[in-house]
């Protein structure tokens, strides 16, 4: 499939000022020649153009002009994929981009599969697998911290550390296997001690990376925070204040929210998916009952609960039930309506944040509380360089387990073949992170999550 020349629309679908159709492959220049007519004395056919130049003209199909375009010519290997690449910039909108793409496909290109451009960059050695995943993280970043972490990984900061780990483990493996070839010579005690120290250091480094997994997943996908409480406690008003705009309908009539509403907000640099739920109460209304059922389903998936209580009303039996029900989850108790006379009495051990959703008072303190619950401590720049994802986490766990088995085999003077076998498994698992050891199914799984034009 690497012999095919692929094409796709590389910009989001919809109306806009510009759209880009990207080609990559050995025949990219020849295919562009067939459908591009240069205009002006400084423009040239793609096959005759110098690399990294832009040319004005039009895309034609069967003698009919499709659109005025600018064509960028980039010759291998200084391209995204290390293949010849042509990017056609046409007018934005569904129809112009689609017709330019159709023209390119009719001229001999094949429609690219999801993530195929980035996959070719990996297969052609321009980036490793961890850097390829960073491309997707960059596209999907919802906060500046997430963007910084993705850029650090794309720059190879994580890959460099992983490659150093793998290289050292390979050297240890070579040392062990050398002694297997000469069974009459035992590993000298001081040499074994050095090997064990290096393996202990490898395990310590893996533990250091594994500790970043939770924070890495938070930056990439965010954390789900359900806003719950009795009807009319101010849940929808709280959602609007946290988002900074009116998203949910606010009414004095209890039971206004009949369905769950989801929106993502940037809370101190962290993406938090807030879910406004229907008020929890017994109801005979069929629609409200369904809303409450969905609220319960949301609560089961939530990683954080914002339990909104009415500061101007006494604690009810329902409130006490919900306080006990949510006690096992990460939660923040939010006293709303702090501008009204206080009637709500809570046990002293329950920490609360007071807010007024009408004026916005206390919202900043609530954001600080959310950040502290989600991510305790300071977010340091060096942490963002090596934040692993769930795939990296799985590979490192396997590598750590096998490395620990190797350490045990060496300390207990077991046969070196066992130590070497476990260490080889560990080396392969570490190599999976950067794509040194991989298979087609894994690659398909990773790149199928990309958009088609990337």
Q: What is the tens place of the pLDDT at every residue in 111-127?
A: 999 999 999 999 999 99
Residue 217: which pLDDT band, with cuts at 50, 70 and 90? confident
223-229 and 270-276 as β-strands: parallel, antiparallel, unpaired?
parallel
Output 18 or 179, whichever has higher pLDDT: 18
- Asked whether residue 117 is domain-assigned, the answer is no
| Residue 330 structural domain | 223-374
Same domain flag for 170 and 190 = yes
Same domain flag for 435 and 359 = no
Q: How many domains does the chain have?
A: 3
180 SS3 class: helix
pLDDT for position 399: 96
For residues 89-115, give the mean pLDDT: 93
Same domain flag for 99 and 141 = no
| Percentage of the chain lying above the pLDDT 90 cut | 46
CATH number at residue 101: 3.30.1360.120
CATH number at residue 394: 1.20.120.430
Q: State the pTM of this model.
A: 0.78
Same domain flag for 197 and 237 = no
Using DSSP, how many helices (H) and how many strands (E) does the chain show? 16, 13
For 371-392, write each residue's pLDDT tens digit.
888 886 666 666 677 788 889 9
Same domain flag for 319 and 201 = no
Q: What is the CA radius of gyration of the chain?
A: 29
Kindly report whether the peptide bond that precedes residue 264 is cis, defined as omega within 30 degrees of 0: no
Half-sphere exposure of 228 (CA within 13 A, CB side): 31
For residues 194-213, give the mean pLDDT: 92
Length of the chain: 454
> What's the order of all strands across the beta sheet hosting 352-354?
261-267, 270-276, 223-229, 304-310, 331-336, 352-354
Same domain flag for 290 and 362 = yes
- Asked whether residue 118 is domain-assigned, the answer is no
Cα–Cα distance measured from residue 367 to residue 424, given in angstroms and rounded to the nearest whole number: 47
What is the overall mean pLDDT for the chain?
86
- Asked whether residue 13 is domain-assigned, the answer is yes
Q: Return the beta strands (E) in 219-311 as ranges.
A: 223-229, 261-267, 270-276, 304-310
Does the pLDDT value for residue 251 go beyond 50? no
What tokens were used for 255?
């039971």
223-229 and 110-111 as β-strands: parallel, antiparallel, unpaired?
unpaired
For 138-184, write each residue's pLDDT tens digit.
888 888 888 888 999 999 999 999 999 999 999 999 888 887 776 66
Same domain flag for 270 and 174 = no
For 279-322, write each residue's pLDDT tens digit.
555 554 555 556 666 666 767 778 888 989 888 888 888 788 88
């Amino acid at each position: 499939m690497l012999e095919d020349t692929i094409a796709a629309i590389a910009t989001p679908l919809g109306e806009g000022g510009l759209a880009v159709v990207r080609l990559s492959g050995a025949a990219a220049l020849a295919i562009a020649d067939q459908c591009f007519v240069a205009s002006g004395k400084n423009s040239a056919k793609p096959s005759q153009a110098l690399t990294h130049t832009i040319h004005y003209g039009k895309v034609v199909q069967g003698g009919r002009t499709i659109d005025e375009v600018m064509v960028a010519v980039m010759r291998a290997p200084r391209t995204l994929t290390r293949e010849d690449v042509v990017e056609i910039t046409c007018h934005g909108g569904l129809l112009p981009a689609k017709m330019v793409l159709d023209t390119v496909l009719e001229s001999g290109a094949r429609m690219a599969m999801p993530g195929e451009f980035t996959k070719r960059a990996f297969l052609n050695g321009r980036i490793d697998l961890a850097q390829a995943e960073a491309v997707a993280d960059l596209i999907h970043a919802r906060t500046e911290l997430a963007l910084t972490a993705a850029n650090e990984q794309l720059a190879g900061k994580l890959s460099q550390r992983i490659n150093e780990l793998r290289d050292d483990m390979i050297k240890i493996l070579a040392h062990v296997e050398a002694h297997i070839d000469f069974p009459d010579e035992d590993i000298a005690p001081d040499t074994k001690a050095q090997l064990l120290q290096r393996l202990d250091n490898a395990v310590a480094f893996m533990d250091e990376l594994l500790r970043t997994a939770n924070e890495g997943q938070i930056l990439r996908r965010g954390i789900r925070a359900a806003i719950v409480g009795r009807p009319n406690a101010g849940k929808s008003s709280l959602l609007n204040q946290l988002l900074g705009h009116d998203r949910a309908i606010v009414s004095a009539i209890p039971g206004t929210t009949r369905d769950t509403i989801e929106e993502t907000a940037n809370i101190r640099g962290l993406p938090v998916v807030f879910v406004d739920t229907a008020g929890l109460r017994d109801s005979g209304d069929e629609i409200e009952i369904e809303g409450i059922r969905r609220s319960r389903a949301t609560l089961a998936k939530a990683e954080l609960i914002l339990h909104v209580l009415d500061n101007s009303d006494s604690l009810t039996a329902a409130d006490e039930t919900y306080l006990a029900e949510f006690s096992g989850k990460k939660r923040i108790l939010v006293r709303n309506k702090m501008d009204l006379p206080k009637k709500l009495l809570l046990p002293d051990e329950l920490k609360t944040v007071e807010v007024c959703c009408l004026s916005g008072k206390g919202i900043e303190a609530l954001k600080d509380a959310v950040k502290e619950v989600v991510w305790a401590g300071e977010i340091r720049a060096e942490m963002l360089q090596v934040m692993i994802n769930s795939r990296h986490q799985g590979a490192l766990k396997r590598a750590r387990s096998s490395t620990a088995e190797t350490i045990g085999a060496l300390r207990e003077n077991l046969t070196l073949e066992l130590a070497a076998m476990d260490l080889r498994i560990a080396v392969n698992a570490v190599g999976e992170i950067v794509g040194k050891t991989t298979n087609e199914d894994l690659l398909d799984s990773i790149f199928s999550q990309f958009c088609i034009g990337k």
